A and B are shown apart, each in its own frame.
Chain A
Amino acid sequence: MDEVLLRSLTPSVLTVLVRRGADFAAAEDAVQDALVEALRVWPADPPRDPKGWLVTVAWRKFLDAARADAARRRREDRVEEEPVAGPAPAVDDTLQLYFLCAHPSLTPASAVALTLRAVGGLTTRQIAEAYLVPEATMAQRISRAKRTVSGVRLDRPADVATVLRVLYLVFNEGYSGDVDLAAEAIRLTRQLAAAIDHPEVAGLLALMLLHHARRAARTAPDGSLVPLAEQDRGRWDTRLIADGVRILQAALARDRLGEFQAQAAIAALHADAPTADETDWVQIVEWYDELARLTDNPIVRLNRAVAVGEADGPRAGLAALAELDDSLPRHTAVAAHLHERDGDLAKAARLYTEAADKAPNLAERAHLTRQAARLNARR
C-alpha cells in the first residue's frame, strides 16, 4: 500500500468534494473515511484510477453522512439531485486548500494542524504524536479549525506569506513519532512550488532543503548539539544542497528578493564552505543587511551580530550586539560566544551559564552548560 500516494491525493480529492458543494468539515471527514477504506481494499484490489476511486468513495461517504442526518434531509435531497461529476479533473487544484488551511482567522497551531491533516493527509494520531499532545487534544484542535473555516469560500488565494509561514512552522518542529515533520514540510512546499510560480515559495523550499541537508551532522549520537563549525561536513547531504542551490539561483535570477530567498542565500553560503574557516562571512553579513532591510525582525540583527563577529572580529560583533535589546532569545549565548573569542573567558563562562538557564530546550541547555564547564575547567 502506497501511503505516500494516498497522502498526495488527499488534497485534490477534498477540493473536488468542496467544489461539488460539500461543506469543508463534512468533506474532510468523508475523505478520511475513504482513505481508511482504501487502506482496507486496495492491497487486494488496486484501482486503475486511484484518484477517481477516492473521489467516488468519498462522495458516497459524504452522502451517507448527510443522509444519516435527519435534520438535514432537505439539503440532502438537493445534494442528491445534483449530477455526480465524471472523472476528476487532472489539473492540480489543491492550491486553494493551502490558502484555506492557512487562513488568517486560524491560530498558528490550528493552521499547522489543519494543513497537515487536509493538505498533508496525515491522520489525527500521526499529527498528535508529532506534536506530543494526546490524540483527543489534537482532534479538538482540528475540528475547531474546521469549524472556523467552514464558512470560508474556496476561491481567491489570499497572502502567500501566510501559507509560507505555516509551512515554515511545520518544518521547524523537527520530528518525533512516525512522521518526520521536516520531510513532510518539504513535500508540501515542493507541491506548492509546483502549483504556484512565486520566488518566495522557491526561496522557502531552497531554505528547507539546505537546512535539511545538514540535519544528520547537527546532533551527536547521544542527542547533544553539534555547532556548525564543528560539524562533520562529510555527513552533509550534497544532493539536497545542490538541489537547494539550484532552486535558489533560479529564484534569485527573477530579481524579486524576499526574506526566505535571503535566508536561503545565507544557508547556501554556509553549505558551500568546504571548512568552517573558509566560510564567506563578509558575504553573509551583506545578506543579513539585505534581510534586515526586508524585515525588522530583531533575531535577524542578532544573527547579523554573530556574522559581524566572524567577518570583522569579536569586538565589532560585540559593538553590533550592544545595539540590541538584551532580552532577545539567545542574546546571552551570542554575547558569551563573542566574549570567548575576544579572550575574556571568565565573563564568557558566566554568560554561558546564564544562557543555559534561559535555554528553550534541553539539548541547548546541555550544550551551553558544557560550554561554561569547558571554560571553567580551563581556568
Chain B
Amino acid sequence: MAKYLLLKHYRGAPAPVNDVPMDQWSPDEISAHMQYMNDFAARLEKTGEFVDGQALAPEGAWVRYDGEGRPPVTDGPFAETKDLIAGWMIIDVDSYERAVELAGELSAAPGAGGKPIHEWLEVRPFYGVQPTITE
C-alpha cells in the first residue's frame, strides 16, 4: 500500500474540458457535483482506501521570512498569478495504477449540463515508504 495525494486546483491547472464557472451551473448541477464528491469519498472509505480529504478556501497568501525582528512578508491578497489548491484527498492504495484510476474517476465529477467536467487533478505519491531490500 502506498499513499497518494490527489490535488484539485482552483486555477493553475490546465483548463478542464467542460470549463464553466460554478456560479453559471444550475443549483441542481451544483448539488449533483457535491453529491458525487461525497459519494466518492464514502466509497473509498468502504474499500479502505480513504485517508483524509479537505477543501481549501480560494484566498491564500505567500509568506516569507523578512529578517530578524521584522514581520514576515506576504504577497497580500493578489491571487491572480497563483496556482491555488482547492482541496485534497489522500488515498492509500495498492498501486500507482489504482491511484491514477481513482483520480480519473474524481475528474469525471458532473458539472454544467450534468456532463463530466474533465478537470485536471494532480496525483503525487508520498515519500516515506522504504524500498523492499532483497538479497
Which residues of A line the B interface, CB within 8 A? Answer: 222-224, 349, 352-353, 356-360, 362, 365-366, 369-370, 372-374, 376-377
Q: B residues 52-81 with Cβ under 8 Å of A?
A: 55, 57-59
Which residues of B line the A interface, CB within 8 A? Answer: 21-27, 29-31, 34-35, 38, 55, 57-59
Q: Are A369 and B57 in contact (CB under 8 A)?
A: no
Q: Are B31 and A357 in contact (CB under 8 A)?
A: no
Write the nearest CB–CB distance from A329 to chain B, whole angstroms: 12
Selected from A222, A224, A356, A360, the residue in CB contact (under 8 A) with B23 is: A356
Enumerate chain B residues within 8 angstroms of A357, measured Cβ to Cβ. 57-59
Contacts A/B (CB < 8 Å), 29 sampled: A222-B31, A222-B34, A222-B35, A223-B38, A224-B31, A224-B34, A353-B21, A353-B23, A356-B23, A357-B57, A357-B58, A358-B59, A359-B57, A360-B57, A362-B55, A366-B30, A366-B34, A369-B22, A369-B30, A372-B23, A373-B22, A373-B23, A373-B25, A373-B26, A373-B30, A374-B26, A374-B27, A377-B26, A377-B27
Q: Are A369 and B31 in contact (CB under 8 A)?
A: no
Taking chain B's interface residues, is the majority helix, strand, or loop, or is none over half, making it mixed?
Answer: helix
Enumerate chain A residues within 8 angstroms of B35, measured Cβ to Cβ. 222
Per the bound structure, the CA–CA distance linking A333 and B57 in Å amounts to 16
In the complex, which residue of chain A has the Cβ closest to the Cβ of B26? A377
Enumerate chain A residues within 8 angstroms of B38, measured Cβ to Cβ. 222-223
Enumerate chain B residues within 8 angstroms of A358, measured Cβ to Cβ. 57, 59
Per the bound structure, the CA–CA distance linking A360 and B38 in Å amounts to 19
Enumerate chain B residues within 8 angstroms of A376, measured Cβ to Cβ. 23-24
Taking chain A's interface residues, is the majority helix, strand, or loop, or is none over half, making it mixed?
Answer: helix
Enumerate chain A residues within 8 angstroms of B27, measured Cβ to Cβ. 370, 373-374, 377
Selected from B24, B34, B55, B59, the residue in CB contact (under 8 A) with A373 is: B24
Per the bound structure, the CA–CA distance linking A365 and B57 in Å amounts to 9
Enumerate chain B residues within 8 angstroms of A373, measured Cβ to Cβ. 22-27, 29-30
Per the bound structure, the CA–CA distance linking A184 and B86 in Å amounts to 33
Per the bound structure, the CA–CA distance linking A376 and B38 in Å amounts to 25
Enumerate chain B residues within 8 angstroms of A360, measured Cβ to Cβ. 57
Assuming A222-B31, A377-B27, what are 7 further A-B pairs, CB within 8 angstroms?
A222-B35, A224-B34, A349-B23, A357-B58, A366-B30, A366-B34, A376-B23
Write the nearest CB–CB distance from A217 to chain B, whole angstroms: 18
Known contacts A359-B57, A362-B55; is A352 also within 8 Å of B23 by CB? yes
In the complex, which residue of chain B has the Cβ closest to the Cβ of A354? B23
Residue of A223, A358, A376 most packed against chain B (CB within 10 A): A376
Enumerate chain B residues within 8 angstroms of A359, measured Cβ to Cβ. 57
Enumerate chain B residues within 8 angstroms of A366, measured Cβ to Cβ. 30, 34
Per the bound structure, the CA–CA distance linking A377 and B22 in Å amounts to 12
Enumerate chain B residues within 8 angstroms of A222, measured Cβ to Cβ. 31, 34-35, 38
Write the nearest CB–CB distance from B98 to chain A, whole angstroms: 27
- 3 cross-chain pairs, A with B, having the tightest CB-CB distances, nearest first: A372-B23, A353-B23, A370-B27
Residue of B26, B27, B38 most packed against chain A (CB within 10 A): B27
Per the bound structure, the CA–CA distance linking A362 and B56 in Å amounts to 9
Q: Are A370 and B58 in contact (CB under 8 A)?
A: no
In the complex, which residue of chain B has the Cβ closest to the Cβ of A371? B27
